[in-house]
Structure 1
Amino acid sequence: MSTSAGGKAARQPSAEQQRLEEDDLRQKHWKRWGPYLSERAWGTVREDYSPYGTAWEALPHDQARSKAYRWNEDGLAGICDRHQFVCFALALWNGRDPILKERMFGLTGHEGNHGEDLKEYYFYLDSTPTHSYMKFLYKYPQAAFPYTQLVEENRRRTRNDPEFELLDTGVFDDDRYFDVFVEYAKASPEDLLVRIEVINRGSQPAELTLLPTIWFRNTWSWGLDVRRPRMRKGRSLPGVSVVEFDHDYYGRRQLLCEGAPELLFTENETNTQRLYGDAEGERYVKDSFHAYVVQGEKAAVNPDQVGSKAAAHYVVSTQPGQPVSIRLRFTNGSSDGAFDADTFDAVFAARLREADEFYAPLAPPDVSDDARLVQRQAFAGLLWSKQFYHYAVDRWLKGDPAGPEPPSERLRGRNADWTHLYNADVISMPDKWEYPWYAAWDLAFHCLPIALIDSRFAKDQLVLMLREWYMHPNGQIPAYEWALGDVNPPVHAWAAWRVYKIEKKRKGVGDRIFLERVFHKLLLNFTWWVNRKDAEGKNIFQGGFLGLDNIGVFDRSKPLPTGGHIEQSDATSWMGMYCLNMLSIALELARDDRAYEDVASKFFEHFVYICRAMNNIGNAKIELWNREDGFFYDVLHLPDGKTFPMKVRSMVGLIPLFAVETLDSELIDRLPRFKHRMQWFIENRPDFSLHIETQSQDGEVRRFLSLVNRHRLPKVLRYLLDEREFLSPYGVRALSRYHEEHPYILSMMGTTHCVEYQPAESTNGLFGGNSNWRGPVWFPVNYLLIESLQKFHYYLGDSFTVEYPTGSGQRRHLADVAAELSRRLTHTFLRGTDGRRPVYGGTEKFQQDRHWRDLVLFYEYFHGDNGAGIGASHQTGWTGLVAKLIQQSGT
């Protein structure tokens, strides 16, 4: 401990915190190497060169082993540099599989009965923010991997059936599988130690082939840069095989392989003979290691031991329960003593100890060990889900100089209006298999828990989405690669404001330069929303999709079958929230620069006008607030001028709760111009008084802004907190359970549209294969509900209570309600008194087996009635918010 000037002992920064500081200051590049390799590059938009955008079919899994990728690389437990010039991953073969296991397998969007669907079991167990220590587990069956059975059985099933999972095939029966642990530790920023441990969980001896593989991303086949870097066998060392190369960007490197394994070399080139029948194609190709190991073709690899792809060939015999380890080292330094215990295993021990030290303060002292485990794996998932993402739309549309002329249809198809977009960065992914591309609103939620451990990365991610080569010149933020021009909820300002406050609380000072940078760019985005999504200029917005895939009567991304348009309760509410987020940022910046007072007034006024429109003040034709039901609904406007509410009780009607803020006099009294303008509204526009309250206590004045005023709040919360409606034992449902027995039915123009409650995957394919907002619990909107209830409590205080749950006769103030919602969400992952985790439902392997039950997956969404994880199994992205909930509340 050191002593500060005031005499108070100050805690020394941990070793990992020091590494973060060194990286922030560019003193040492601790983040240069990390888990930036994707887990699926096949079946993506970027690799789709078909005429009509059939991405899943353009490069399927069966071709992935043989075709060189244009934009990204994928692999198993892999790492690469932040530019993805050099990649490293593990390949496996159990002696029975028809193919070498080099990448994760799953079903395409058209093969799965509920859309794309990963069919593997792997787990992100640990990672520090600088990736100085990382740990990954892959469970590999000893029987042949059932590729065909998984495809055929899921194709046979309907949307009314559950998905057919890998465990259902029986390949893990009697524990006939390998646990393959892959660990990384950095001795220095350029010295990476790798430890691979295999444990045979079965009852019989079994043999396993391991191929730690290193390769260059193919940057030379496209006619833009013909230089092809080379790997070669290095000078032999006692008991060590060496792969070495000289790279134009990174200089000389070596991969040192303990045990002197055989080294295999080939090229990261397309096998044109296999895919296209080209007899003149290259001899040494991307899938040569498959041919060598699985098919026994010894001539498939280069006998000169050079190439752009190399692997160390290990064959290990394993006894039941006995671990077998191999060690490797990727370094730019000396190879002397590479595997000496003092310089290898000691580094792993130190990095793990430092990781423990770093994470210890992030959970409350009284939190359970199980909650700490869940939080640690949530952080690990967030950090392992970083990915080098490469997509240059103009080049993708036009094709490469060395490639064939693209179909002319592409120039008028997907993303044709985004030719400015050039992405080549490490980005936080929702899920590196099912969603191996960024999604703007997902990323905003990722940044909150990330800010607890690496606020620099969180800030950089938010700024990145607003850079000129991401944001459209018209101010729109790119949505996701399948449709860059689609519309995500505008949560970027909220995320920036929250990340700013999280860092300010941690460090004692806020990064005002960051806040200014995002604010000025968000002004452009806010203007885009106002100009493009307020069709009639009445402060009622039509956002379209807005992430709510299948929650409404119609697919809101497409023209309505009825004609006309929808006045959206959620789009209008998101914009109300956007106004308040921008207002908060402007007021913070105005502390030091009075020029921001004027723009703060602009957002205050805009919020007031949205309030007026949202609550049916002065416009009888637009009635988003339904007085009869006491709830917010979308309103359908037909071409003949008729309007009526679509009475679906869904998250659409709860999102108005997100737009709430309290302004304290401590700040407002320092900003006289803003205060004067606000006071004018309060005194001269009495019709707004229900949504702009003023409260005085002990000389302090608080002003309360909300779309849902104190009189309407209990009515909305009556639905929210009713266990027969929205309130699930595991959070808040996206659709009220009321619609299970009372479906909403709309018959128009000879067609009947129906919305009914479904707690898991939707049986309706209204919006794509994963149409799934009809009842499950989603973490991001739940998190915003918790935060909103805390804000309501801050102003309304303990005296404002509601019945919780509805009908129970018990009354709670809103801070307690928020804490209870947080508890319900976190308990989705925690073992109950029966030892079971709700997230794993009835999957007994995960509930009972000691080698599975403490491995946590963070799904995309959760069964509305029993909490079982559904959808993308590795979407730690926004579900990683559980780490923040544990940090702020304790469990």
Structure 2
Amino acid sequence: MTAEDQRLNLSYSRQEDWLRWGPYLSERQWGTVREDYSEGGDATWSYFPHDHARSRAYRWGEDGILGITDRKGRLCFSVALWNSRDPILKERLFGVTGPEGNHGEDVKECYYYLDSSPTHSYMRGLYKYPQARYPYEDLVSVSQSRSRDEPEYELIDSGVFQDERYFDVQAEYAKAGPNDLLIKLTVTNRGPQAAVLHLLPQFFFRNTWTWQCTDEGCTTRPSMRQKGNVVQTFHETLGEFWLTCDGATTTSNGTWLFTDNETNSKRHPGLPSESEFFKDAFHEYVVQGNLQAVNPDQNGTKCAFYGLDLLQPGASLTMRLRLSQVESPIIAETCGGDVQRFAEEAIGDNFEQVFAERISDTDAFYEKTIPANISADDQLIMRQAYAGLLWTKQFYQYVVDTWLDGDPNGVPIPASRKAGRNHEWRHLFNRDVISMPDKWEYPWYAAWDLAFHMIPMAKLDIEFAKQQMILFLREWYMHPSGQIPAYEWQLDDVNPPVHAWGVWKIYEASGPEGKRDTKFLAKAFQKLLLNFTWWVNRKDPRGKNIFAGGFLGLDNIGVFDRSKPLPHGHLEQADGTSWMAFYCGTMLKMAIELAPESEAYGDMASKFFEHYVAIAEAMNCMDGTGLWDDKDKFYYDHLYADGKSIPIRVRSLVGLLPIMTGVILDEEIIAKLPGFKSRMEWFLNANDDLPNHMTYREGESPTDGKVTQRLMAIPSREQFQSLISVMLDEDEFLSPFGIRSMSKAHGKEPFIFDFGGQRNEVCYQPGESNSGMFGGNSNWRGPVWFPMNFLLIESLKNYYSFVGDAVKIECPTGSGNQMTLLEVTQELERRCASLFERGADGARPAHGTESRYVDDPHWKDLILFYEYFHADSGQGLGASHQTGWTALVASMLGT
């Protein structure tokens, strides 16, 4: 057991709270639903824009560059910078909003998550800060001028990195103890000339006092005050911490600055504020030269150590800080509670020793986590994928009841708000550290993303993975109806029901067979029953086991906006129905696993077994009401109107998802459940034509011919072979980088559908969407998406475990190359992983044509994990730090 494993054990046994501090600070709080108090709640981007963020106090969170905070987001730390040319102090990441970007919102910065241990006892991140004036206006105007057919205009395209005129700003964190944080900022001038940098590491309390709210657990205003070379901080529920910095010895000058984390009432009249020193005081002091902006009494709720230096070409400066609780050993034992001794001894020989030990501990943890038999480049990819996954944890607070009604000292709430967005979710009370898809573009949870995040997370921190899955089933998250909240923009939107699968995968990772966490499984199963029932009652409009899930997270994959009712009829969805069969099969496996503990689970297993078969029969029904098209040998969504079911012949992932419905039942386990076994056999005998409607196969022992396993799947054997043939066809779904979300064939032959007097068209788009319809800022009409590739790969591995080497498939289709299903999965994993791997030319496909990532020593080992990828070139698209589900590459490389 490594030192890091020991820290995890101490944390979850509640002996030592090593997880109290972490990278839980958001990277964008402005422009979110939580901060939107506009009329109707629809003007999210315009109500709280980036331009206001420096001078308006947030209500529900905080943000900053490469920052940290405690798990309740009370005391925050982040890096602030000024290059003497920017119009504002650089305190947070900038990006274009949804209306400004030609493909929706997009961060316009260069930053990278490089390392993190699971307890965040060591972390390292990098931010590249231009020495030229940051091109705020240019990024917006060019983005607005570009069409959807053009690429996005990025910071790296603007010329600000020309001649390497930028600073590398590296933030490192190490913990000497659970409440003893060491911070090291290293800034390097990469340019050819000397350059001035203003560096302000800043600490600030999240503003919970102005609003007079009652849901924070504290009533008094926190404080910071200077005592000699130490800043003393106090918070009612966090306690007393001391802060010091060695900046005075490493910069030409340095001083502590103080203000309050309050709205600038001069800039924003009418908004609540309780101080004459404002949130933007450091901007005013440093950039505007307004020396009266900061508090001369050296106290407040926000402070920074201000250092200014001239860095020669290639030179670096290092600033070291330490934040320690009064009860921490360094104060209680070493310094005896003496402020002056703390200032003298906090940053001594022990400081670098702690860093060296935590780096060594982190290396040791990953040495046992990352396979040694893969290439050094693949090890680098895995390490950064895991780092991004850990860095994108975020403290997230959203109390819908308070948000709808407003605060005693908050902005006035329009009456329309109470019937607007999320008004049916008043029970929702979120105040937790949650795994985010991307802390800038998606600084709010997405329920189906989360299930995928937890698959690689289970390799790092199995307890956190379990806690995250249970969290969304809690009564203060899950709706009383049984619906799981989707995301803050629309809590009642419908995501694919993958939560049960995520629970099952984490359960499998919780230990060897016979020693797994059945308590976790049972806890989740009970709440998942409520969610499953919600799906059956709400999403099967005709009661025929054909489901109309709606949006299902796939944005614009179809011809209609699936999140909205059609003017006539309704959609019956091949993916929605497949997801429900998948859900059913997972619940069946859970029930069988739990049945030895209680007969009641055996009864539930029977229920899910029969429900699974009913969905399969309905989906494959040949009387015109099923979703299988015998002519095209493919599954399609159907439009059901006027008593007729009309296929919508779009060849997309929608039609491939039935592949993932395979369920294998182990006869040895079934034999221990006599009640379930007898009911199952009665059902099978009463439905002896089952193989005509689906796959139902019995695996037999080669020695005595007895049944050892049973395989069920929605596609029959012939249907499965047809789907696999299409999926592995390079002229259809198989791209050099994985499975496309739509068939390439639609590039030559767009699908056209006339309905209600309107002509609807869908065509293959390997990259960004050329339309703003049905979601606008993402595209499911061609690109490669990691979650769906991962599910398809997992499903083929499942089939292989039943059929073994006896079944071979042509891969790619038409090549004459025969592969086992296991070899097919290995080929798909290879193609997906190649997005990040350095090719013969030194380029990583995900980075497109940018030469810096090929040959520049300060860029080439930096890897971005995008939301999705161009199916023909492999270039990364969408959110650039989606190390949530794109971190699944670590699970592919690690097999």
Instruction: Determine which of 745, 749, 754 is the counterpart of 2:756.
Output: 749
Q: 8 Å contact 2:797–2:821 — kept in the other structure?
A: yes
SS at 1:712's partner residue? helix
Instruction: Determine which of 797, 806, 814 is the counterpart of 1:807.
Output: 814
Output one character per residue of 1:57-114: Cα deviation in whole Å (capped at 9) or x when no partner.
1100000111100000001111001011111111000110000000000011110000
Instruction: Determine which of 484, 487, 492 is the counterpart of 1:480.
Output: 487
**Change over 3 Å in CA distance of 1:768–1:461 after alignment to 2:** same
Q: C-alpha distance in 2, partners of 1:509/1:314?
A: 55
Indicate the residue corresponding to 2:564 in structure 1: 558
**Superposition pairs for residues 158-237 of structure 1, below 5 Å?**
158-224=147-213, 227-234=220-227, 236=228
Matched AA of 1:183: E
Query: 1:585, CA displacement in angstroms?
Result: 0.8
Query: 1:560, CA displacement in angstroms?
Result: 1.5
Q: C-alpha distance in 1, partners of 2:469/2:18?
A: 21
Indicate the residue corresponding to 2:546 in structure 1: 540
SS at 1:275's partner residue? coil
Q: 8 Å contact 1:398–1:405 — kept in the other structure?
A: no
Query: 1:691, CA displacement in angstroms?
Result: 2.5
**Superposition pairs for residues 297-696 of structure 1, below 5 Å?**
297-332=290-325, 333=328, 334=331, 335=342, 338-505=345-512, 509-561=515-567, 563-616=568-621, 620-638=623-641, 640-689=642-691, 690-696=694-700
**Change over 3 Å in CA distance of 1:703–1:280 after alignment to 2:** closer
Query: 1:217, CA displacement in angstroms?
Result: 0.5
Q: C-alpha distance in 2, partners of 1:278/1:409?
A: 20
SS at 1:88's partner residue? strand
Output one character per residue of 1:230-279: Cα deviation in whole Å (capped at 9) or x when no partner.
10002x2xxxx321122211222111111343011101111121123889
Output one character per residue of 1:303-336: Cα deviation in whole Å (capped at 9) or x when no partner.
0011011110011221111221110000014226
Q: C-alpha distance in 2, partners of 1:414/1:305?
A: 43
Given the alignment of the two structures, is residue 88 of structure 1 paired with residue 77 of structure 2, yes or no? yes
Q: 8 Å contact 1:232–1:244 — kept in the other structure?
A: yes
Q: 8 Å contact 2:272–2:409 — kept in the other structure?
A: no
Output one character per residue of 1:534-577: Cα deviation in whole Å (capped at 9) or x when no partner.
0011000000000110110001001214x110110000000000
Query: 1:782, CA displacement in angstroms?
Result: 0.4
Q: 8 Å contact 1:764–1:771 — kept in the other structure?
A: no
**Superposition pairs for residues 711-750 of structure 1, below 5 Å?**
711-750=718-757
Q: C-alpha distance in 2, partners of 1:834/1:750?
A: 52
Q: C-alpha distance in 2, partners of 1:278/1:648?
A: 51
Query: 1:127, CA displacement in angstroms?
Result: 0.4
Matched AA of 1:308: T
Q: C-alpha distance in 1, partners of 2:273/2:93?
A: 30
Q: C-alpha distance in 1, partners of 2:396/2:672?
A: 44
Indicate the residue corresponding to 1:246 in structure 2: 234
Matched AA of 2:220: R
Q: 8 Å contact 2:322–2:347 — kept in the other structure?
A: no
Q: 8 Å contact 1:665–1:700 — kept in the other structure?
A: yes
Q: 8 Å contact 1:682–1:692 — kept in the other structure?
A: no
Q: 8 Å contact 1:423–1:470 — kept in the other structure?
A: yes
Indicate the residue corresponding to 1:9 in structure 2: none
Query: 1:718, CA displacement in angstroms?
Result: 1.0
Output one character per residue of 1:178-229: Cα deviation in whole Å (capped at 9) or x when no partner.
0000000000001000000011100101111111111111001112265211
Give the TM-score, by structure 1 length.
Answer: 0.96
More displaced 10-residue stretch of structure 1: 541-550 or 847-856: 847-856
Q: C-alpha distance in 2, partners of 1:819/1:748?
A: 42
Instruction: Determine which of 232, 240, 244 is the counterpart of 1:256.
Output: 244
**Superposition pairs for residues 862-881 of structure 1, below 5 Å?**
862-881=869-888
**Change over 3 Å in CA distance of 1:166–1:280 after alignment to 2:** closer
Q: Which runs of 5+ in 2 are unaligned?
A: 249-253, 332-341
Matched AA of 1:431: D
Indicate the residue corresponding to 2:116 in structure 1: 127
TM superposition outliers: structure 1 runs of 4+ over 6 Å: 277-281
**Change over 3 Å in CA distance of 1:591–1:508 after alignment to 2:** closer
Q: C-alpha distance in 1, partners of 2:275/2:529?
A: 53
Q: 8 Å contact 2:388–2:883 — kept in the other structure?
A: yes
Q: 8 Å contact 2:102–2:152 — kept in the other structure?
A: yes
Q: C-alpha distance in 2, partners of 1:102/1:277?
A: 24
Q: C-alpha distance in 2, partners of 1:806/1:450?
A: 34
**Change over 3 Å in CA distance of 1:708–1:69 after alignment to 2:** same
Query: 1:340, CA displacement in angstroms?
Result: 4.9
Matched AA of 1:481: E
Q: 8 Å contact 2:272–2:410 — kept in the other structure?
A: no
Query: What RMSD in Å do the two structures reach over aligned CA positions?
Result: 1.4
Q: 8 Å contact 2:321–2:347 — kept in the other structure?
A: no
Indicate the residue corresponding to 2:778 in structure 1: 771
Q: C-alpha distance in 1, partners of 2:873/2:197?
A: 39
Give the TM-score, by structure 2 length.
Answer: 0.95
Matched AA of 2:243: L
SS at 2:599's partner residue? coil
Given the alignment of the two structures, is residue 148 of structure 1 paired with residue 137 of structure 2, yes or no? yes
Q: 8 Å contact 2:210–2:274 — kept in the other structure?
A: no
Q: 8 Å contact 1:739–1:757 — kept in the other structure?
A: yes
Indicate the residue corresponding to 1:41 in structure 2: 29
Instruction: Determine which of 52, 72, 97 is the counterpart of 1:108.
Output: 97
**Change over 3 Å in CA distance of 1:87–1:747 after alignment to 2:** same
**Superposition pairs for residues 14-29 of structure 1, below 5 Å?**
14-29=2-17
**Change over 3 Å in CA distance of 1:807–1:313 after alignment to 2:** same
**Change over 3 Å in CA distance of 1:320–1:489 after alignment to 2:** same
SS at 1:155's partner residue? helix
Query: 1:341, CA displacement in angstroms?
Result: 4.5
Query: 1:337, CA displacement in angstroms?
Result: 5.0
Indicate the residue corresponding to 1:5 in structure 2: none
Q: C-alpha distance in 1, partners of 2:344/2:604?
A: 62
Indicate the residue corresponding to 2:62 in structure 1: 73
Indicate the residue corresponding to 2:338 in structure 1: none
Given the alignment of the two structures, is residue 286 of structure 1 paired with residue 305 of structure 2, yes or no? no
Q: C-alpha distance in 2, partners of 1:835/1:756?
A: 33
Q: 8 Å contact 1:34–1:79 — kept in the other structure?
A: yes
Matched AA of 2:413: P
